A and B are shown apart, each in its own frame.
Chain A
């Protein structure tokens, strides 16, 4: 119950902040590179700074922060290939959709119809991943071992 309630509270807070600020990490990178505008990119930098401060401080304060820092966590070539392909696709298609998954959730709550349809596809995509994509990946990883 505690993790569920914590995620609900965190969700409400970041939902409110995201709606007021148009926070989006993907748009931040895009704006910085294509428009030389660093306004939204600072959000991405902020998350990394906040996370680093938070994980470090909470670890020293006795919080549950195991295996920090993670360091070299590349366990197999297959995982590395999946990371590269997944990262490239995530970045490319998020720009085509004009926003990261977080921003799309915020825009859907504001009443943006395109984002609502994006989320339909997004959740269908998650289901498809577990029904189909995972099986292909298992086959591929078996060949790459």
Chain B
């Protein structure tokens, strides 16, 4: 199966993702919290907390919808991406995107902590914007500012020859 959606492929995929997230909440009990159909901070957090609670008897917070069974979005994405990569002969071990492994891990650590401080990843932030949240609009604006600052920093660093 090949996705051939032409010039607006990305827009169509985004719309499909938004509709899937809304359907997951509306008809498959994927809440509370609201606008949580797709989240790459919320769902990994729920999954990790669920595992820790069940393995070590801890009491880390888990959303009401996922107390009995955890969200499996992350597992699904691994399966879907793996199948897509394998079918298209793109499945192989290779370096990057960040070549220094320790640095990549540090970036992941920081993204998790800053994201949880706000409470959502960029995708769920977009979903919350469509849900009409004023706080999410502010958060998305701040994400854009953060992206701009980092983009110009990387350009500056590249010009000065500073390694990543």
Contacts and interface: CB of A to CB of B under 8 A. Distances in A.
Interface of A: 1-21, 23, 25-26, 28-30, 33-34, 39-55, 57-59, 61, 63-74, 79-80, 82-102, 104-115, 117-130, 133, 137
A34 B151 contact: yes
B139 to A, nearest CB: 4
Given A29-B147, A58-B23, A130-B60, A106 B13 contact: no
Contacts of A122: 44, 108-109, 111-112
A131 to B, nearest CB: 9
A112 to B, nearest CB: 6
A114 B103 CA distance: 9
A86 B119 contact: yes
A68 B26 CA distance: 12
A52 B130 contact: yes
B135 to A, nearest CB: 5
Contacts of B19: 50-51, 53-54
A7 B27 CA distance: 12
B26 A19 contact: no
Interface of B: 2-3, 8-31, 34-35, 37-38, 40-41, 43-45, 48-49, 52, 60-61, 65-66, 68-85, 88, 90-99, 101-102, 104-119, 121-123, 125-136, 138-152, 154-155, 164
Nearest to B121: A101
Contacts of A88: 114, 142-143, 145-146, 149
Given A90-B115, A99-B97, A105 B78 contact: yes
B14 A44 contact: yes
Nearest to A14: B17
Contacts of A119: 108
Contacts of A98: 96-98
A126 B17 contact: no
Majority secondary structure, A binding face: helix
B6 to A, nearest CB: 12
Contacts of B97: 97-99, 107, 112, 114-115
Nearest to A100: B122
Closest 6 CB pairs of A and B: A46-B14, A11-B76, A50-B18, A15-B80, A91-B146, A69-B132
Contacts of A101: 40-41, 44, 111-112, 115, 121-122
A39 to B, nearest CB: 6
A126 B95 contact: no
Contact of B139 (A71, A86, A102): A86
Given A3-B65, A120-B108, 12 more contacts: A3-B29, A11-B75, A12-B76, A13-B76, A46-B17, A47-B14, A68-B131, A69-B131, A90-B122, A93-B111, A94-B122, A101-B111
A57 B25 CA distance: 13
B10 to A, nearest CB: 4
